[in-house]
Amino acid sequence: MKEIGHWINGKMVAGTSGKFADVYNPATGEIQARVALASEAELAQAIADAEKAQLKWGATNPQRRARVFMEFGRLINAHMDELAELVSREHGKTLPDARGDVQRGLEVVEVCMGLPNLLKGEFTDSAGPGIDLYSMRQALGVVAGITPFNFPAMIPLWKMSPAIAAGNAMILKPSERCPSTALRLAELFKEAGLPDGVLQVVNGDKLAVDGLLDSETIQAVGFVGSTPIAQYIYGRAATNGKRAQCFGGAKNHMLIMPDADIEKAADALIGAGYGAAGERCMAISVAVPVGQETADKLVAALLPRIEKLKVGPYTAGEDIDFGPVITKASQERILGLINSGVDQGAKLVVDGRDLKLQGYENGFYVGATLFDDVTPDMEIYKQEIFGPVLSVVRAGNYEDALQLVIDNEYGNGTAIYTADGDTARDFASRVNVGMVGINFPIPVPLSYYTFGGWKKSAFGDLNQYGPDAFRFYTKTKTVTARWFSGIKDGAALNFKALD
């Protein structure tokens, strides 16, 4: 049985705790490896070594740090297919989707190539008589990233890239369900020129998480996962005086107005609802058609599209639409919620409960499922299913549809399909959700903007990647300077490039 360890001080090391977690192949249901879970002593040593490495890295000028990211981006591109294979093998998503996972992380790396501009401070000449005033951004020191299973490449890259670019060292704890991609990225980062110890990848469970939250050395924590865990991590980190940005669950709605192009809206819902087996925090899980005629047309358009979806292992080819969910427990939870929808009176239009694939009977598959006539009091509406289940909630008018989104406890993403600019503008202005799509189903911002939800989808006041990330991973120092001496004599006639 393959054993997966940690990345410490620039090399792979075996775990010494004697504790392991199983890493499954979701397509077959088989255990393919065991990943070591760090002890308190292992974690403490990794943090201490990172603290030493950060001193030199933080003193390295931004241009040199940017060059490391330029090479890191080149290496990610060169190893794109290998990284996608690692993602698919442990997560189960299709290879095209896995390449997208890597690509969206790479885009944040590309932004970090311009980090000298992102780290510039401010300057005021002659703020007072002979007085100059300026600010500078400085690294926090050692920070931590705790990342989920559903994006084994993208979210680790979202966390580590701006943190390290800003001059920090990072302790990354990836999901123990999908550990291999983060470890391979660490190898490529070293090959790109990152000094040993600046990035430590430590696999672990709650013991490791609490160790990061309680460590006096760790200055900030970034997390993505479920809302209860996000709230726990945010509270414990804040209690210990750390910065924290913690992103939780979602229940993303898409409004379909009577003037919308139903065919385009249906295509969008298929991709946004069933892509990656619904295991995305930005997946659309609730369709809200406005008016009975709109709803009837939408369901009629969705039905043949769902019936054409191909489900299977990533090894079955590039035309597979989605694969298994991550674990047997996830599969059982999703099936249980589908059952509850039937029991509570929702209309089951497409039933994905009995999907069986020849040769993969033990895989963690759930077929595409469509409910109609869902109401807000049902469990399938209230809970984040995180599976290939789409619920249609019919609304009588625009105001009722908008109020559904406003009243929901989550506020990650939302979308509206309409041909009317005034309606779209009103929706974007009034909806209390962090990321809004207009005729765009999954409105994940490009990497030079910033990603973050509202309400119970996010805890903390700064978002992921983009300008907010550099604010989060640095602290501002403001200097007031006055000089009394005159201008000194002397000149330098040669032009010297900055190092």
Per-residue CA distances from 404 to 27, 302, 390, 476 (Å): 36, 22, 16, 40
Q: Give residue for tokens 């990794």.
A: 46
Q: Number of C-alpha atoms within 13 angstroms, CB side, residue 428? A: 15
Q: Number of C-alpha atoms within 13 angstroms, CB side, residue 302? A: 29
Kindly state the tokens that stand for 147: 């990342």
Q: Map residue 96 onto helix, strand or coil.
A: helix
DSSP assigned state of 290: B
Catalytic residue among 112, 178, 246, 281: 281
Question: Is beta strand 252-256 parallel, antiparallel or unpaired with respect to 243-247?
Answer: unpaired
CA angle, residues 398, 287, 440, in degrees to nearest 5: 85
Round to whole Å and give the CA distance between 187 and 194: 10
Query: Would residue 281 show up in a list of annotated catalytic residues for this protein?
Result: yes
Stretch (H or E) spanning 270: helix 262-274
Kindly state the tokens that stand for 213: 């939250």
Tell me if 388 sits within 8 A of 278, measured CB to CB.
yes
Residue 389's DSSP bridge partners are 369
DSSP assigned state of 149: S
Round to whole Å and give the CA distance between 405 and 382: 12
Rg of the chain in Å (alpha carbons): 24
Kindly state the tokens that stand for 357: 């694939």
Secondary structure E strands in 364-438: 369-372, 389-392, 410-411, 413-417, 435-438
C-alpha torsion angle, residues 235, 237, 241, 243 (rounded to 10): -100
Tally the residues of the chain: 499
Round to whole Å and give the CA distance between 54 and 64: 15
Round to whole Å and give the CA distance between 81 and 95: 8
Give all strands of the β-sheet with 20-25 in edge-to-edge order.
2-4, 30-36, 20-25
Tell me if 168 sits within 8 A of 112, measured CB to CB.
no
DSSP assigned state of 65: H
Round to whole Å and give the CA distance between 318 and 246: 34
Cα(first)–Cα(last) distance of the chain, in Å? 48
Active site residues per annotation: 281
